[in-house]
Amino acid sequence: MHIAGAQSPAHNRQRTIGSMDIALLGSAPLRAGALRALYAFPDTPTLRMNFVATIDGAATGSDDRSGSINNAADKCVYDLNRALADVVLVGERTARLEGYLPGDPGEPPIVAVSRSGRIPAGWRSAPDPASGGAVLVTCGGAGQGRLDAARRLLGEEHVWVIGRDTVDLAGLKSDLAERGWGRILCEGGPTLFAALLEAGLVDELALSWVPRLIAGDGPRITAGRLTDAHLSRRHLLDIDGTLLGLWSVVSSPAS
């Protein structure tokens, strides 16, 4: 696995800034096995959030898509997280804005969360979204009409009703683990992240800071009610000015 403009791994070094060690990889060719080991999921069921943000905290570009702010270094981690995960969890709005499509047979299934029972637009035009591992998670409050429409498109087994008036996120995490999908990668968006965090369900955060400034009033990686969670750093890498971090959640409001 290469990051463009290589130095030898022998030139990697550690610099301490305050109490924080930053691995300076420059633009070194990074061995896939080494990076894979850094991002390996724990053996126990784990929900890992994955986000990219600019230095000034914007989670999207001017087009409201995170894809417009990511870069090659972030894409390496994005692809690796997907390769390591059993399932990708995402909010319906994010799936719609980012153009999520049902994956190939070798890709992890995509589970979209929608309180209203709305189906991501791209799924409606897919020939057979269920064969690509598409699952819609909703609640009884979506209404029978929305539920019936989703079942016609995806099939009964690909529409999960978990919760009465809103999606029971704790129940969803438990259900995923029971199905053998214990390595859960959640790609947002900010509202779903905040809800999972408030419920004490987030175990890890993988965050890439790209060296850009966007300004404006775009979203941060979390949105919603004020919360306060404490994290512990597992690693922080600098590749050509992009900071790639992985943190464990030590405490959150529900813990």
The CATH number for 69's domain is 3.40.430.10
- pLDDT at res. 26: 46
In a domain, 169, yes or no: yes
58 and 68 inside one domain: yes
Strands 159-161 and 204-210: unpaired
79 and 198 inside one domain: yes
CA distance 175 to 241: 39
**Tokens encoding 132:** 């690509």
In a domain, 31, yes or no: no
Residue ranges making up the domain that contains 97: 87-181
- pLDDT at res. 129: 86
79 and 193 inside one domain: yes
250 CB contacts (<8 Å, ≥6 apart)? 229, 230, 231, 232
CA distance 127 to 106: 17
pLDDT in tens, 17-31: 333 344 544 445 556
Question: Counting beta carbons within 10 angstroms of the beta carbon of residue 145, is it exposed (0 to 12), middle (13 to 18) or buried (19 or more)?
Answer: exposed
**Tokens encoding 45:** 């069921």
91 and 177 inside one domain: yes
CA distance 101 to 99: 6
In a domain, 27, yes or no: no
175 and 106 inside one domain: yes
Reported pTM: 0.87
Using alpha carbons, list the distances in angstroms from residue 216 to 56, 58, 61, 68, 96.
10, 8, 9, 15, 22
The DSSP result for 183-207, as a single string, is: EEEE---HHHHHHHHHTT---EEEE
The amino acid that residue 46 corresponds to is: T
- pLDDT at res. 5: 29
189 and 81 inside one domain: yes
- pLDDT at res. 52: 96
In a domain, 15, yes or no: no
- pLDDT at res. 28: 52
DSSP state of 255: -
247 and 136 inside one domain: no
49 CB contacts (<8 Å, ≥6 apart)? 186, 187, 188, 193, 196, 202, 204, 205, 206, 207, 221
- pLDDT at res. 128: 86
Question: Which of 181, 216, 238 is a domain's end point?
Answer: 181
Question: Which of 165, 181, 197 is a domain's end point?
Answer: 181
Low-confidence ranges of the chain (pLDDT < 50): 1-22, 24-27
What radius of gyration, in Å, describes the C-alpha atoms of the chain?
19
Considering its fold, how many domains does the chain have in total?
Answer: 2
